[in-house]
């Protein structure tokens, strides 16, 4: 790195000051796999407890001011739940973040939701999506984060082209109900639970659907929802170039959609993604990206895992911010491959933890959030208070 020590500190503080990441309500609840789950005494079983846990993560990290909410799990009575949620926002100092429709849990969605062959089911699914938009308006939430499990398991059992048309029609209708400041984030996933074809299987499909829906729709990239060999940072570069990148769901994966803490398998990949974003910003591209976590841990302690992911996200974001992109551009133009790669990798291997500690001290935050969490006794108190309810069956599997 060719930057001076003071320049590095200035750039580090600037990057960390600009970085915020949303945490998911379902990340604090008892969850698991399709085979079962291991309950945790400290897991949240009410929306109040989820807000409390989110407030604790924000107290420790200072960069998680919003909590993503899930329809049915967090707002089972729809708009009737909004006053209670607003009260929780005021009480805990955490705002409602993205609103996530539930288009996969009801029995009627066995053959799809917005793509179901039944017009009646499609209409009910669309109504749920529109209700989600209205709840987002009532909570002053900008983003509606859309993921559906629609697809099929066997060749010849569904008309794929017709399903594209039904989906286009539904998203266009949803877009027409957005407030001027709202966005529809269209997420993709190559497989699971549909194993033959998934209706929104990759970034190209998601991008097409977002464009068809309207100018307030864009693509959401989940860092777990990809085949193992896919170049996710190239996808990010394309979405940045075409103005279609709206947000991320951050986790890590060994194969796909593994729901692992960020950077636990491949921190270099997240660093490469952040580099593309920083580079686009340096080039003057208008960027408005929602950074969100989408994890729900079955084995790790839930609050500890959330703090761990937030801290790792800050470190990787900072590492990518410290790349000397002017020098890198010169090396790229002259095709000095080894020098360019070494400069690039040098930023990744840089230990930025002293910089993040200094930033936290300057902002009155604990220098080591995980250590502060352990010392606080918050998890132990939560386990003692919630233990009798922790065995309740979660709404997420």
Tell me, what's the pLDDT at 390? 54
Instruction: Say if CB 172 and CB 211 are below 8 A apart.
Output: no
Tell me, what's the pLDDT at 392? 46
User: Which residues contact residue 144 at a Cβ distance below 8 angstroms, ignoring those fewer than 6 apart?
Assistant: 98, 99, 100, 101, 129, 132, 133, 136, 174, 178, 182, 183, 184, 185
Tell me, what's the pLDDT at 2? 53
Tell me, what's the pLDDT at 388? 67
Q: Is the pLDDT of residue 3 over 80?
A: no
User: Mean pLDDT across the stretch 152-180?
Assistant: 98
> What mean pLDDT value characterizes the chain?
95
Q: Is the pLDDT of residue 95 over 70?
A: yes
| 299 vs 396, higher pLDDT | 299
pLDDT digits (tens, 9 = 90+) for 230-241: 999 999 999 999
What's the CATH class of domain 20-389? alpha beta
Query: For the chain, what are the domain ranges?
Result: 20-389
Q: Is the pLDDT of residue 119 over 60?
A: yes
Distances (CA, A) of 312 to 14, 256, 294: 17, 20, 14
Q: Is the pLDDT of residue 395 over 50?
A: no
Q: Is the pLDDT of residue 302 over 70?
A: yes
| 6 vs 148, higher pLDDT | 148
Q: How confident is the model at residue 264 (pLDDT cuts 50, 70, 90)?
A: very high
Facing residues of 145 across strands? 185
Q: Determine if the pTM surpasses 0.85.
A: yes
User: Mean pLDDT across the stretch 150-165?
Assistant: 98
Find the helix packing angle between 82-92 and 47-61, rounded to 10°: 30
Q: Is the pLDDT of residue 113 over 80?
A: yes
Q: How confident is the model at residue 394 (pLDDT cuts 50, 70, 90)?
A: very low
Q: Is the pLDDT of residue 396 over 80?
A: no
Q: How confident is the model at residue 200 (pLDDT cuts 50, 70, 90)?
A: very high
Q: Is the pLDDT of residue 222 over 70?
A: yes
Helix or strand holding residue 198 (H, E):
strand 197-198
Distances (CA, A) of 116 to 71, 151, 167, 304: 20, 9, 9, 39
Q: CB count, 10 Å around CB of 201?
A: 16
């Amino acid at each position: 790195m060719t930057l001076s020590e003071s320049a590095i500190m200035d750039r580090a503080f600037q990057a960390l000051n600009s970085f915020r990441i949303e945490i998911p309500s379902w990340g604090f609840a008892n969850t698991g796999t399709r085979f079962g789950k291991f309950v945790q005494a400290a897991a949240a079983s009410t929306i109040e407890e989820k807000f409390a846990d989110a407030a604790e993560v924000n107290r420790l990290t200072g960069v998680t001011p919003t909590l993503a909410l899930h329809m049915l799990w967090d707002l089972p009575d729809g708009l009737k739940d909004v006053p209670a949620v607003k009260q929780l926002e005021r009480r805990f100092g955490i705002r409602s973040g993205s609103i996530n429709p539930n288009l996969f849990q009801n029995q009627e969605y066995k053959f799809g939701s917005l793509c179901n062959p039944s017009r009646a089911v499609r209409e009910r699914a669309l109504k749920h999506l529109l209700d989600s938009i209205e709840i987002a308006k009532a909570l002053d939430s900008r983003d509606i984060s859309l993921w559906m499990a629609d697809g099929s398991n066997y060749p010849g059992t569904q008309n794929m082209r017709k399903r594209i048309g039904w989906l286009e029609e539904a998203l266009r209708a949803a877009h027409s109900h957005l407030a001027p400041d709202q966005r529809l984030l269209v997420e993709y996933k190559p497989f699971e639970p549909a194993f033959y074809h998934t209706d929104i299987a990759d970034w190209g499909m998601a991008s097409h659907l977002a464009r068809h829906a309207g100018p307030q729709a864009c693509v959401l990239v989940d860092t777990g929802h990809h085949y193992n060999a896919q170049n996710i940072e190239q996808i990010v570069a394309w979405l940045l170039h075409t103005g279609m990148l709206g947000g991320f769901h951050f986790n890590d994966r060994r194969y796909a959609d593994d729901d692992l803490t960020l950077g636990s398998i491949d921190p270099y990949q997240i660093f490469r993604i952040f580099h593309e974003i920083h580079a686009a910003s340096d080039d003057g591209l208008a960027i408005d990206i929602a950074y969100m976590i989408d994890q729900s841990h079955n084995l790790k302690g839930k609050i500890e895992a959330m703090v761990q992911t937030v801290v790792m996200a800050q470190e990787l974001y900072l590492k990518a911010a410290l790349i000397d992109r002017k020098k890198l551009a010169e090396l790229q133009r002259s095709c000095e491959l080894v020098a360019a790669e070494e400069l690039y990798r040098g930023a990744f291997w840089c230990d930025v933890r002293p910089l993040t500690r200094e930033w936290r001290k300057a902002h009155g935050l604990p220098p080591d959030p995980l250590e502060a969490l352990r010392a606080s006794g918050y998890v132990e108190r939560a386990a003692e208070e919630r233990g009798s309810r922790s065995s309740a069956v979660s709404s997420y599997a």
